[in-house]
Copies of this chain bind each other. A is one copy, B any other.
């Protein structure tokens, strides 16, 4: 069975890209591997002639790219988000190589959109952006010079996604529906309010508590129904207050 339809559910998100040429090159890299959904979070310059020049025959990807005011907006509707990073991080998320991350992304893309997020050319993803990811993917590289060009990193990940298609087992029909990004964010917001109201969380000295809780829940891959009852629990707790 042809599984290339899975690639339609993989969104590439470029956050705060400095050079429009890189956006064009990334669009080309995406199209060579069959990806089409590009979202740009606050690009420095876009649209821009340099982006068009570098996109070569992938103008359609560029023309359909959506500019978003925030990562939240770019991830709207997604049920699984992978951040691409060159460096090890502290308090780290689960991290896989690009090769091992690709089938995981595609597995979740079977029914709902997933996202692959790339940070700026200079410094990659911020910690706040990492907090929105369930998994990190890294590209094995020369430890003395690991700085892949942004479009090259997109190319390698997109290539791995395409290579992962043929061997991918088809998902069982009864896979539970996962919770969408914006609903999970609403849960974190309510959770934080509740923790503050109970006095457990002191906003003046939060000690990365929310980051730790985010990472805990990110690992569980919340299902839509599970999220509903977690929200119910929070609501019940607020009434007790």
Interface residues of chain A, those whose CB is within 8 Å of chain B, are 25, 28-29, 31-34, 56-58, 99, 139-142, 145-149, 151-152, 155-156, 159, 162-163
- Please list the 10 inter-chain residue pairs (A to B) with the smallest Cβ-Cβ separation, ordered nearest first: A34-B142, A152-B155, A32-B141, A31-B145, A32-B148, A156-B159, A32-B142, A140-B162, A29-B152, A57-B145
Bound-state CA distance A142–B61 (Å) is: 14
Partner of A32, one of B57, B152, B163: B152
- Shortest A145–chain B CB gap in Å is 5
Copies, count: 2
Residues from chain B with a CB closer than 8 A to the CB of A156 are 155-156, 159
Name the CB-closest residue of B to A36: B142
Contact of A139 among B99, B149, B159 (CB under 8 A): B159
Chain B residue at minimal CB-CB distance from A54: B149
* Chain B residues in 8 Å Cβ range of A148: 28-29, 32, 155
- The answer to whether A141 touches B162 (Cβ under 8 A) is yes
B-side contacts of A146, CB under 8 Å: 32
In angstroms, Cα B148 to Cα A58, docked, is 11
Q: Chain B contacts of A99 at CB under 8 A?
A: 163
A193 to chain B, nearest CB (A): 44
Q: How far is the CA of A152 from the CA of B31 in the complex (A)?
A: 13
Q: B residues within 8 A CB of A147?
A: 28, 32, 56-57
Q: Which residue of B lies closest to A142 (CB)?
A: B34
Which residues of chain B come closer than 8 Å to A151, judged between CB atoms?
149, 152
Residue ID in chain B nearest A99 by CB atoms: B163
Bound complex: CA A215 to CA B190 (Å)? 68
A163 to B140, CA, bound (A): 7
Closest to A162 in B: B140
